[in-house]
């Protein structure tokens, strides 16, 4: 039997990212939304195992969208909690080292990268994510977007997520209402560049 997913713990308190992201949002986002993805994925996985044991091709195929959506939701949010950090733990501090250099090289400056990601996030219609991605094959950085809960790999199998920003409305609505641009501007204050640097240095030593 395949191992069931479980909800990862948040590496900080729910209120630790204030005022950029409210404690109320973090609580709901983690304990309701993320938890629901985990639960529904596990249910779909159970149904998949049943279908596989009966060789029920039709059921196997029908379960794909639920697996993709809920599995993607779990993958994306697990990364998201790690790529945010309270200011006291280094949130918002700009990247140093090789990642910082690479950003300057690829985008000109950190501001340019932030501007690009914010524009893409603002322009995204509906629900989705904005990513700072590393193409590990070509060792290049790029900005990508995915819809709904599609993980970054759906845009390219060699893409590794360094930072993700959730632009589903549930990620900001209670605090920012329809002012998505304000949410995007503020989230950089709690961005955990340490995590991004770690992932980058692992892939590009």
Partner 1 sequence: MNLLSCSSNHCPLSSKVLASTSPPSKILKSSVRVRNLGWGERRDNMRNNRRVSKVVAYYGLKSPPYRLDALEPYMSQRTLEVHWGAHHRGYVEALNKQLAKNDILYGCTMDELIRVTYNNGNPLPEFNNAAQVWNHDFFWESMQPGGGEMPTLGILQQIEKDFASFANFKEKFIEAALTSFGSGWVWLVLKREKKCLAIVKTSNAVNPLVWNDIPIISLDLWEHAYYLDYKNDRAKYVNTFMNHLVSWNAAAARMARAQAFVNLGEPKIPVA
Binding site for partner 1 (CB under 8 A): 28, 32-33, 36, 65, 69, 125-128, 147-149, 168-170, 173-174, 177-178
* Run of H or E residues at 163: strand 159-166
d(CA 93, CA 190): 8
Say which residue the tokens 């590794």 belong to.
Answer: 160
Q: Give residue 113's Cα distance to chain centre.
A: 17
Distance separating alpha carbons of residues 35 and 75, to the nearest angstrom: 12
Contact status, residue 163 vs residue 196, Cβ threshold 8 Å: yes
- Least CB distance from residue 89 to partner 1, whole Å? 27
Among residues 148 and 197, whose Cβ is nearest to partner 1? Answer: 148
Per-residue tokens: 106: 């690829």
Q: Rank residues 168 and 188 by Cβ distance to partner 1 and give the closer one.
A: 168
Q: How far is the CB of 146 from partner 1 (least distance, A)?
A: 11
Say how many C-beta atoms besides its own lie within 10 A of residue 96's C-beta: 11
Provide the CA 198 distance to its chain's centre, in angstroms: 16
Residue 112 or 147: which CB sits closer to partner 1?
147
Taking the complex as a whole, the smallest distance from the CB of residue 5 to partner 1 amounts, in Å, to 18
Closer to partner 1 by CB, 91 or 128: give it: 128
Cα-based distances in Å from 103 to 96, 163, 170, 199: 10, 13, 29, 14
Residue with smaller CB distance to partner 1, 77 or 192: 77
The distance of closest approach from Cβ of residue 92 to partner 1 in the complex, given in angstroms and rounded to an integer, is 26
- Give me the numbers of helices (H) and strands (E) for the chain, helices first please: 9, 3
Closest contact distance (angstroms) between CB of 85 and partner 1 is 24
- In whole angstroms, the minimum distance from the beta carbon of 147 to partner 1 comes to 7
Q: How far apart are the first and last CA of the chain?
A: 36
Provide the 8-state DSSP code for 129. E
Nearer to partner 1, 98 or 178 (CB): 178
């Amino acid at each position: 039997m395949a191992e069931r997913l479980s909800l990862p713990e948040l590496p900080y308190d729910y209120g630790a990212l204030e005022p950029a992201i409210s404690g109320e949002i973090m609580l709901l986002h983690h304990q309701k939304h993320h938890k629901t993805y985990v639960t529904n994925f596990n249910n779909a996985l159970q149904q998949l195992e049943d279908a596989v044991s009966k060789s029920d091709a039709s059921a196997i195929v029908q379960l794909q969208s639920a697996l993709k959506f809920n599995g993607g939701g779990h993958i994306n949010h697990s990364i998201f909690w790690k790529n945010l950090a309270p200011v006291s733990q280094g949130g918002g501090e700009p990247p140093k080292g090789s990642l910082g250099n690479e950003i300057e090289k690829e985008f000109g400056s950190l501001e340019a990268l932030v501007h690009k990601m914010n524009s893409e996030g603002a322009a995204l219609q509906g629900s989705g994510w904005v990513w700072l991605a590393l193409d590990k094959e070509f060792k290049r950085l790029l900005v990508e977007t995915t819809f709904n809960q599609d993980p970054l790999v759906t845009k390219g199998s060699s893409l590794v997520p360094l930072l993700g920003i959730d632009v589903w409305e549930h990620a900001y609505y209670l605090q920012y209402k329809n002012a998505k641009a304000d949410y995007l501007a503020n989230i950089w204050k709690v961005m955990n560049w340490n995590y991004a640097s770690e992932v980058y240095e692992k892939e590009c030593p």
